[in-house]
Amino acid sequence: DVEAQLQQVRDKLSPKGDVVSEAGRKRTMEVFGQPLSPLQVVQRICSDVEKRGLAAVLEYGKSLDGKQLYASTIRVSEEELRLAHEAADPEFLQTIRDIRENILRFQTAILHQDVEVPIEHGGKLRHRYTPLKRVGICVPGGAAAYPSTVLMTAVPALAAGVEELAVIAPPTPFGSYNLDLLATCVEIGVKEVYRVGGAQGVAALAYGVEGIPKVQKIVGPGNLFVALAKKHVFGEVDIDSIAGPSEVVVVADTTAKPAYIAADMLAQAEHSPGSSVLISWDESLIDAALTELEKQVAVLERCDLTVQSLIDFGAVIVAKDEDEACRIATDLAPEHLHITTQDSEATAEKILTAGATFLGNYSPVALGDYAAGPSHVLPTGATAHWASGLSANDFLRSRSVIHFTENGLKAIAPLVTTLADKEGLTAHKRSVTIRTESE
C-alpha cells in the first residue's frame, strides 16, 4: 500500500517539534506551579510581558534560564561587544566576512525591483518597495551556538536596507554569552543584542519593553516556545515562518556516489531530531548507501544521537522509476531536496516543492546551511507546498502608486461607475463623475 507507506514517511519527515521533554515539563511545574501545555505557557508569558514589560522579561530570564539580569545588563554593552570581537580568532572573523559577502551578493541580486506600468490613455501605475525599518532576530541558544543563524537572517535584512536590527539570544553560554556569536554580530554590523530568549524574548520584541524598542517584524528559528510565541504575536508584528526541525530528501540514481549520499543523510540526522529520506529506483545504490551510512555514522562525534535520529526519522523508499520518485518527493515537499541523477537539472524541474534544492555530487546541503548565499531559514514539515525560505525580499514591504491624467480617468471612468452603481455606492461614483462630466 503505497499511500500507507508514504504516510509513514510523511510522519517521519516532520519530527514532532511539539514534544516537550520530561525536563521541560518539570520546568513548567516549577515556574507556573501547574501542568500547563506549551501553548498555555506561551500565552501566559506573552500577556505577562505585554502587561508588565521589562519586569516580567527579567523574571522569566531568572526562572526559565536561571539568569538574574537587570535593566542595566539585559542589553549586551558596546564594551562587551568590542571585547568579544577583539578576542575572536582572526580566521573565524575572515570566514564570517567571506560568508557575509556571499550572502550579500546573492540576496542583493534577488531583491524585488520597483515596477512601472504605463496607462494607455494617460498616467502610470507603480509598484514600489521600501525596506522595513526595525527588525527583531531570534538566535537560538538552548542546545548549541549558531553564528550561522545571525548571518542567514541579519545579512538578508541588511541587503534589503533594514536600518535597525535587534538580536535576541537566551542568556546562556550558547546564546548571548557566546563570544563567537557576539563577534559575528559586530562583524556584520549588528549593534543591538539582548540577553533574552524563548517566548519572553519574542514578546519583548513584539510589544516593546523598557530598553527594548518594539520591532516591525520578528524572524529566525527557535524551539517550540519561540515558534508558538511568534504565532501568538503575529498581527501585532509580522513574522517570517514557523520553522520546525530539519529534514532532507535525497533523490538519486546510479550516477550518485553512495558515500556522498550517506554523508548528506548523516548531516541532517545529526541535528537530532533531523530527518533523512532517500528515494531511488536503483536498489543496488540504496544498498551501497546504507552500507556507507553504517560505516560513516560509527565515527561521528554525535554518533548515538545521530543513530537515534535515523531510527526515528529516517526512511528509504524504493520507487518504480524516476517519475515515481519525483512524484513522491513533490508530495513530501521537504525543507532540503538533494538531487544526484544523470541529469540533475532535468530531474529538479519535476520536483518544484522544496525549501532549497541542491544539485549534483558537489552541492552538499551544508553548503546552503553555512556559506552559499541563500538563507538557511527554510520551510519545513511539507509547508514548502505553499511557503518559501527567508530572503531579503521578506524585509521589504510594497505599496502601489496610482497616477492618472484627466484623459486616463475619462477612459476608465465607466468601469468604476458601473461597479459603484451595482454596489450602491453613489459617493464613489460621484468622486469620478465630478471630474469627468461637465456639470
Active site residues: 335-336
Which range touches ligand NAD (CB under 6 A), out of 3-11, 191-199, 316-324, 353-361?
A: 191-199
CB 192 within 8 A of CB 165: yes
Q: Which is nearer to ligand NAD, 142 or 161 (CB)?
A: 142
CB 26 within 8 A of CB 254: no
Is residue 41 involved in binding ligand NAD (CB under 6 A)?
Answer: yes
CB 250 within 8 A of CB 262: no
Is residue 241 involved in binding ligand NAD (CB under 6 A)?
Answer: no
Q: Is 30 strand, coil or helix?
A: helix
Is residue 156 involved in binding ligand NAD (CB under 6 A)?
Answer: no
User: How many angstroms separate the CA atoms of 414 and 139, rounded?
Assistant: 54
Number of chain positions touching ligand NAD (CB under 6 A) = 26
Which range touches ligand NAD (CB under 6 A), out of 192-200, 248-256, 348-356, 420-428?
A: 192-200
Where would I find the beta strands (DSSP E) of 261-395?
274-280, 314-318, 336-340, 356-359
Q: And the C-alpha cell for 396?
A: 521589504
Is residue 376 involved in binding ligand NAD (CB under 6 A)?
Answer: yes
Binding mask 49-88 for ligand NAD (x = CB under 6 A): ---------------xx-----------------------
Q: Closest residue to ligand NAD, Cβ-based?
A: 198
Residue of 24, 122, 161, 211 interacting with ligand NAD (CB under 6 A) = 24
Binding mask 122-151 for ligand NAD (x = CB under 6 A): ------------------xxxx--x--x--
Q: Which is nearer to ligand NAD, 226 or 337 (CB)?
A: 226
**To the nearest whole angstrom, how small is the minimum distance from the Cβ of residue 409 to ligand NAD?**
49
Is residue 245 involved in binding ligand NAD (CB under 6 A)?
Answer: yes
Is residue 27 involved in binding ligand NAD (CB under 6 A)?
Answer: yes
Q: And the C-alpha cell for 40?
A: 498555555
Distances (CA, A) of 98 to 88, 157, 180, 383, 416: 16, 17, 16, 31, 54
Q: And the C-alpha cell for 73?
A: 545588563
CB 202 within 8 A of CB 230: yes
Of 270-309, binders to ligand NAD (CB under 6 A) are 271
Residue 288 region, left (φ>0) first, then alpha (ψ -120 to 50), else beta? alpha
DSSP state of 224: H
Distances (CA, A) of 395 to 21, 196, 348, 390, 435: 34, 23, 28, 9, 39
Side-chain half-sphere exposure of 364, counting CA atoms within 13 A: 15
Q: Which is nearer to ligand NAD, 148 or 254 (CB)?
A: 148
Q: Which is nearer to ligand NAD, 253 or 369 (CB)?
A: 369
**To the nearest whole angstrom, how small is the minimum distance from the Cβ of residue 21 to ligand NAD?**
8
Q: Which is nearer to ligand NAD, 332 or 390 (CB)?
A: 390
Residue 34 CB burial class (10 angstroms; 0-12, 13-18, ≥19): exposed
Beta bridge partners of 217: 135, 238
Helical (H) or strand (E) element with 204: helix 198-207
Is residue 388 involved in binding ligand NAD (CB under 6 A)?
Answer: no
**To the nearest whole angstrom, how small is the minimum distance from the Cβ of residue 140 to ligand NAD?**
3
Q: Which is nearer to ligand NAD, 170 or 334 (CB)?
A: 170
Where would I find the beta strands (DSSP E) of 304-394?
314-318, 336-340, 356-359
**To the nearest whole angstrom, how small is the minimum distance from the Cβ of residue 175 to ligand NAD?**
6
Q: Is 318 strand, coil or helix?
A: strand
Of 302-341, binders to ligand NAD (CB under 6 A) are none
Is residue 360 involved in binding ligand NAD (CB under 6 A)?
Answer: no
Residues in contact with ligand NAD by the rule CB under 6 A = 24, 27-28, 41, 64-65, 140-143, 146, 149, 170, 197-199, 221-223, 225-226, 243, 245, 271, 376-377
